[in-house]
Amino acid sequence: MAENKELTGKVALVTGGSRGIGAAIALKFAQRGADVAINYISSATAAESVAEAIRAHGVRAMTVKADISNETDVGAMFQDVVREFGRLDIAVSNSGIEHFGRLDEDTGADIDRIFAVNVKGQYFVAQQAYKYMEDYGRVMLTSSISAVKGVPRHAVYAASKAAILGMAKCLAVDFGPRNITVNVLAAGGVKTDMYDHNATEYIPGGENMTAQQIEELLSKWSPLGRVGLPEDVAGVAALIASRDSQWLTGQTFHVSGGAYMT
């Protein structure tokens, strides 16, 4: 079977691309032939490791440090990418931070910190994509199944991710005249380093369970009987980046294996 290289000649930027879902998306795009820019905030070594893996597919890669919550940083990042590659066709706003907090303990500072990255930062990415992206491009924002399903002590995070659903609907209209699609990846139950840190929070009594016990419980959420992997989300991102998705915009794709919390 011929290898799918339909993104050859395209340039993608993935924020938060040095690990987890972002790294998997970046590698998937590279496998499909795209040159890829990896954004990171703290770990240059991890970002360069992903870049090297991308180059192994015979495409170009660069790393770029930027704080997504900083408007100036985001603008400079897009300028760097276009200066290096000459164009931009795909922007994946993957950066995000998770938060659990008691209702009687969350502060305004907590809310500002979460919304600065998960909402404001994603809007900054969309703004710059509008400025620099080629027509017929693809913008992908990041939400979560937490935006539509209740989880204890998760209200601030869920609100930040729910905001993205409305944001994408409006941005799809704004980008539409240029035939640029705007869609949302809303993952759930995906095994990343964030999963390792936060999985216990989703299960009552999870702090007293082993990692294997937690995974067995989370696997039961899905009719497919397993937790997700970063590659599962990357596959959906590749679909959205493809020619086959040209009539999909303003949509939220719940990449959760059919799992919903009760």
For the annotated catalytic residues, the residue numbers are 144, 157, 161
- E strands along the chain, which residues? 11-14, 35-40, 61-65, 90-92, 138-144, 181-187, 252-255
Three-class SS of residue 149?
Answer: coil
On whether the CB atoms of residues 134 and 87 are closer than 8 A, the answer is yes
Q: Specify the residue for token string 């409006």.
A: 170
- Distance CA(155)–CA(244), nearest Å, equals 35
Cα dihedral sign for 86, 71, 17, 134? negative
Q: 192 with 261: CB under 8 angstroms?
A: no
Q: How many CA atoms lie within 13 A of 199 on its CB side?
A: 22
- What count of other Cβ atoms lies within 10 Å of the Cβ of residue 243? 8
Q: Which residues contact 190 (CB under 8 A, 6 or more apart)?
A: 21, 227, 228, 229, 230, 232, 233, 255
83 Cβ contact list (under 8 Å, min separation 6):
none
CA 250 to chain centre: 16
d(CA 239, CA 225): 23
How many Cβ atoms from other residues are within 10 Å of residue 170's Cβ?
12
